[in-house]
Each structure stands twice: as structure tokens, then as C-alpha cells.
Structure 1
Amino acid sequence: MTEPARRMLLLAATAAGFGAAGLGGVGCTSDGGGGGGTTASAGMSTRRTPAHSPGSGASPTAPATPTLPTIPPEPPLPTASPWPLARTEVEPLAKASAVRLLEALGTWPRGGQGPGPARERARARSRDVPPARAAHLVSRAAPLLTPAPEATVRVIAAQYGGLAGDRASVLVPLRQWRRAADGSVVDGGATVDVRLTRAPSGWQVRDLHPSCPGRPLARPGPLIRRTVTHDRIHLPPAAEADIRAGHLRPAPLRALLTLAESYDIDISVIHTGHPRNVFGTSRLSDHTRMRAFDVWAVNGRTVIDPTTPDALIDGFMRAAARAGAYRVGGPRLLGRGGEVFFTDRAHRDHLHIAFDSDA
């Protein structure tokens, strides 16, 4: 073989060797022992950091700085929104004293938890709270003082549970948001029967009776399930808990569902958080018998608001009677009243719908 022919053969073999090595690197994977390089795939390139080899002249790669996990900010608590008084209230100062005390007790900033700061908040309401009653009221407000770094109360409604001379009951369903230990927000609430007496300086809070609904039924029936999930029946926390615990009889549950076919209904009180007896009497309340519910707004219009059409409220009361209620109380006496419809000072701000059957 001539020299020129031998050179041509060597060049061809060398070229073929380089081509094979290059093709062998494309698409290969490494489990940690492979050399560095650039791998192309689907138009993207990922650069691997080459491993340091002694004597290669390359500098060792500095270890990457660890990235600390980002801690998400705590969700803010809803703001405390003071409950407004209507200009047509029968006893506006009684409601104001009841509501402002509960707002003060159940709302605190960081560092304000515990019975000591709660007593200070109660004493600060000196116009509403006799100084000697502050410690007692704090002890009665335990459901609103569950330990938490911070909390906010928002009153849903305030209605009269009864008015009798210089004594009053104001029923206050409310919602409370608390900060949990892990930073999350816990949503709860209660209904409080606030007892007041009239003093020379105005109405003062003497006692608190918070709701205590009990445990929900393990197997609630279809009436309960439909009521608590109905998008036109709006339940404050204690009222919903009452229904889930089985504290409303079938007749009022069926009536609620019937009324919700035509109305949006805002419930205030079902069972707990209501006086045991009809206020000022020895007669057992239909709420205690689990046969009644109270309504503070219909179609988003409050009963106490003077701009709410009479026809709306009167129509709801008549529909409740057609749905089986044997006693319907409200801001006006409908027709001749009789044994079904009634009115008094305590029912100017809500509708009382009661039944005489447990079935």
C-alpha cells in the first residue's frame, strides 16, 4: 500500500471514531459517575456541573447556599364591624349596652387574651357594666374567651328576648374568629342571652347566658340536612349547631323549608341562647320545647327597619301560619289577631314562629 493510500485510510478511521463517540453521548443518562457535558432535548438545554478531577486544572465547585422555605403570611382576621342601632328601636340603650359589652369581651389584639385583660375590657364599659359585676360577667362569657393570640367578634343581630318593667333580655347571635396556634383562623360563634336592669344612668348588664347546643347528631335525618345546607336559610353558628344537634322539631323544620321556597330567611334564635321561660312569666317557652324559631330579616330586609315594606313582613307571617305555625308574633297585629297572630314591644324587631306539635 502506498503512503498516500495509508494516510487516507487512517484519516477515515479517525473520523469514524470521533463520530461514534459523539453520537454515543447524545441522549445518554448518568447515575452520578458520568462526565460533564451538555445534553440537548426538545429544544431545551440543561447544564450539569462537572465533577472536579485532581490534576485537571478545574476549580472545585462551591456548595450551593441552601434556600430557606418561605413562610406564608398569616391570613388576617376579619375586621370588627360595630353593630348598628335602628332609629326605631324600642329600648335602644338596652341593646347598645348588651352589644357593646359582647363586642369588647370577644375582641382582643395580640397580648389581650385571658381573663385578666377581659376584666379590664369589661370595667372599661363602666356605663354598661356595674364595676362589681365585671368579674362575674367575664366568668359567664367563657365561650367567647377561648384562649387565642387574637380574636374578633362581629354581631349578627340583636333582638329582644323580653321586656318587663326595669328588666330586659337581649339575644345576641354573633360570629367570632380566633387565631389558632398554627396561625390559621378558626371560625365560630355563639348566641348570648344578655340580662339587663334599668339604672339611673341607663341600662346595665347584670348577667350573661351563652348558648350551649351540644354535640351534632351522628346520623341527622333528611330534614336536618336539607335545612342546614339550604341556600335561602341563613343560620348563625348557634342556631345551626342547635339544628345539627336535633334541637328543632320536624314541624318547624318542614315549615322553614316550605317558607324558603318563596323567601330568603335570616334566623336569629332556635333553642339555646333563649330564655327558658317566656320572659317575666313561669310559662315554658316554645323555644325550650324546640318548637320555635325567630327571624330577624326577610329577603335581606330587617324586621326593625322602618323602610322594610309592611307587605313583605306581613306576607311572611301569613305564609308561616299557612305552613302550620300556631303562634306568629311580629311588629304588627294582623287582622283581628285571634289565637295565631300577636304583637308586643319585644316583637317589634323579629318574627316569632312557633308550633304546637313535636311531630
Structure 2
Amino acid sequence: MTEPARRTLLLAAAAAGLGLVGCTSEEEAGEKPRPSGTRSRTPTSVPPTPTETPLPAASPWPLVRTEVEPQVKRNAVRLLEALGTWPRGQDGTGPARRRAEAQGVPSGSVPGLVDQARPLLDAGSEATAHVIAAQYGGLLATRASVLVAMRQWGRAEDGAVRAGGATVDVRLGRSPGGWRVGALYPSRPAPPLARPGALIEQVVGHDRIHLPPAADADVRAGQLRPRALRALLALAETYEIDVSVVHTGHPRNVFGTNRLSDHTRMRAFDVWAVDGRAVIDPETPDSLIDGFMRDAARAGAYNIGGPRLLGGGGFFSDRVHRDHLHIAFDSDN
């Protein structure tokens, strides 16, 4: 099954359980599902020729009303979807600026944000972006970080469809008018190792470990330590694992502190769904998520965050970890 299909099934299930659509507030009430057979919201200036493979259709990430800070995540996700998706004739900086303005970005902030989004704007003559996972990287009274794992398809010069993607650390600040996007930090993984070794090859090739593009690139580049890789393989013997973030695209320090993150040390990975059940979905059984966290501790993790505080050492819970699991290790090997 393709990644967009998996993502759609997972989050559609969550939304169905709650009776939700892809919105989180009255501000997003206009984002209603289109009846079958209606025209896409995204205009196409020039339709693809019959010999070209069409790009996947754009579809908004289905936010749920149980989000801790709905406006924070909505503003981050919708801006990246807009910047990373365009029809033919709308590539380039000028149209990207107009798409940002349409998302309510103040005009003074638009040029800087579009410049920071450059890795998303070079996909080709047309492009489609799909959000795979969006999780909090940090959440304070007036500052926030949302880590958005994306897949993107673009039309190359030869007409072929090229697949890529990134994880973007979206920084927001609270203003009198609400939360505003202030900066974008796309992932920049290192090149893949020429000789990755058996452990890396087992992780990237495992059919029960699902890695978004940036996380996959991190693992192939050797940016996840062996102990964490072995734990992933051990957990995959019992669970299907949807990873969100590994190394790049994560804040360097624990948000709001001067402490170096275990992601920066290449000793941590985050998980947004277990056995096809999103961590944030209230219909996901507590026993499934709690069992995964305890099994992660048995696999060697020393610091495990999630939506509930479990008894015993090494576990923690806070508002940031309502939507994902943080699995970290205190040694490399």
C-alpha cells in the first residue's frame, strides 16, 4: 500500500471514530469533504498530456478536535501543504508567495518564509505535497514547534514523476491575532553511506517499519545509532511501527531549554502510530500504546514519552507527547 493510502486509512479511521472532518475550529469550517466526482479545489492550468503519469491528488491532513493546540498545528500544516503543492504554471517564488499570503501569513513575513521553504519549491513544474505525520516539537505559552513529515511528488523536466519529501520544523509564535508561523527549518539529511551494513539495511527494508522520507534518509546516512536500530527491529517483531522523526527536522535542543536533544545525538526516534492506530486517536486502545512503551523500555530505551505517565523509571508524559511516542537511548552501541 502506498504511503498516502496508509496515511489516509489511519487518520480516516481516527476521524470516523470521532465523527470528524478535516477541521479543528470554526475558522476551518470551510474545509469540508468534496462530494464524489466534483472538481478539485486545486486548479490545473494545463492538464497533463495523455502520455504523462498524473501526480497524486492533493488532500488536506485531517486534523482532529482533540489536538492540544489546534490552531498551532493547523497553521503549520496548511502552510506547508500550500507551499508544497501547485499546478502547472504556478511554480516559482511569486506564486509561492501568493499561496503563503492566502494562508494568512503577514505580508512582511512572506518573503523570508518562502526563501526558507526553497527545498519544497524545487520539485518541478507541478507538485503535490502530502503530510504523513505532524507532531509537536515543543509547546510553550508563546512559542511552539510543529514537526511535519511530508512526502512530495513533482514533475521533472522530462515529464516523469519524481518522489521526494522532507520533515520541516515549523516555528510559531503567539500574537494578539493568534498563532503565526515565524520560521521554517526543512530537514537536510546527510548522504547515504556507501556501505550501510546489515543493521541499516534490515531497518530500511523491514515491512513493519514505516519511515517517512527524511527519517529514511537519516537511517541510510547512519544518523541513528545501532542501539536504537536494534530496538526498532526488536519492536517490529511484535508491532507495526510508523516512525515520524529520527534526526533531521527536529530541534537541536529540547524545546525551550539549552539541553541537547537525544535526536541530535542520533539516539532517539519518534513514533506517531502503532499497529496502524494513531497515538493521538482516542479510540486507540491505551493497552496498545502503553504496551509499546513498556516493550521499548525492555528493548533498552532509557527515556520514553507518551500520552500517559506510566509507573516505573524512565517514563514521562506532557502536552507535547499527546500525539507521538519519544523513544530514546543513553548509549550509541
Tell me the TM-score range normalised by the shorter chain: 0.7 to 0.9
Matched, 1:258 2:241: no
Match of 2:153 among 173, 177, 188: 177
Q: Partner of 1:124 in structure 2?
A: 102
Tell whether the 8 Å contact from 2:209 to 2:241 is kept in structure 1 after alignment. yes
Q: Does 1:90 align with 2:68?
A: yes
In 1: Cα distance, 2:236 partner to 2:259 partner: 30
| Greater relative contact order structure (CA < 8 Å, 6+ sep) | 2
Structure 1 residue 267 corresponds to structure 2 residue 239: no
Deviation at 1:294? 0.1
Note the residue ranges of structure 1 that are not aligned, 5 or more in a row. 1-70
Match of 1:217, as an amino acid? Answer: L
Q: Secondary structure at the match of 2:133?
A: coil
Alignment-derived partner of residue 326 in structure 1: 302
Q: Which runs of 5+ in 2 are unaligned?
A: 1-48
Q: Tell me which residue corresponds to 1:159.
A: 135
> Could you list the per-position Cα deviations for residues 266-292 of structure 1 after superposition, in whole angstroms to 9, with x for gaps in the alignment?
000000000000000000000000000
- Distance of 1:144 and 1:211 partners within structure 2: 11
2:46 paired residue number: none
Contact 1:191 1:272 in 2 (8 A): yes
Once the two structures are TM-superposed, the CA of residue 130 in structure 1 deviates from its matched residue by: 2.2
Aligned-partner residue type, residue 178 of structure 1: G
Residue pairs, 1:95-244, within 5 angstroms:
95-126=73-104, 129-146=105-122, 148-244=124-220
SS of the residue corresponding to residue 109 of structure 2 reads helix
Q: Helix, strand or coil for the counterpart of 1:162?
A: strand
Whether 1:344 aligns to 2:299 is no
SS of 1:132's equivalent in the other structure is: coil
CA contact (8 A) 2:123 2:153 kept: no
TM-superposed CA distance for 1:214, in Å, is 1.5
In the alignment, the residues of structure 2 paired with residue 80 and residue 325 of structure 1 have an alpha-carbon distance, to the nearest angstrom, of: 37
Q: Distance in 2 between matches of 1:229 and 1:93?
A: 36
Using the TM superposition, give the Cα deviation of residue 72 of structure 1 relative to its aligned residue in structure 2, in angstroms: 5.7
Q: TM-score, normalised by structure 1?
A: 0.78
| Aligned counterpart, 2:273 | 297
- Aligned twin of 1:80: 58
Q: Which has the larger radius of gyration?
A: 1
> Matches of 1:233 and 1:131 in 2, distance apart?
41
Q: Secondary structure at the match of 2:88?
A: coil
Where does 1:38-53 land on structure 2 (aligned, <5 Å)? none
Which residue matches 1:13?
Answer: none
**RMSD across aligned positions (CA):** 0.9
Paired with 1:88 and 1:100, the residues of 2 have a C-alpha distance of 18
Query: Aligned-pair distance for 1:199?
Result: 1.6
Distance of 1:284 and 1:120 partners within structure 2: 37
Supply the distance in 1 between the matched residues of 2:185 and 2:157 (Cα, whole angstroms): 28
Number of aligned positions between the proteins = 285
Q: Which amino acid aligns with 2:155?
A: R
Task: Kindly report which structure 2 residues correspond to 1:24-35, keeping only aligned pairs within 5 A, or say none.
Answer: none
Match of 2:290 among 299, 308, 314: 314
Give TM-score scaled by structure 2 length. Answer: 0.84
Is contact 2:199–2:230 with CA below 8 Å preserved after alignment?
A: yes
**2:310, 2:66 → 1: CA distance?**
20
- 1:148 CA displacement: 1.3
Q: C-alpha distance in 2, partners of 1:221/1:147?
A: 31
* Structure 2 Cα separation of the partners of residues 241 and 255 of structure 1: 18
CA distance in 2, matches of 1:209, 1:134: 15
| 2:150 alignment partner AA | L
Does the 8 Å contact 1:156/1:236 carry over to 2?
A: yes
Q: Which runs of 4+ in 1 moved over 3 A?
A: none
Residue in 2 aligned with 1:357? 331
User: SS where residue 108 of structure 2 aligns?
Assistant: helix
Distance 2:289 2:65 in 1: 18
Cα distance between partner residues in 2 of 1:147 and 1:320: 37
Contact 1:252–1:354 (8 Å) recurs in 2: yes
**CA offset at residue 198 of structure 1?**
1.1
Alignment partner of 2:130: what SS?
strand
- Further displaced range: 84-93 or 311-320: 84-93
- The superposition leaves residues 155-182 of structure 1 with CA deviations (integer Å, 9 ceiling, x where unpaired) of 0010000011110000000000000111
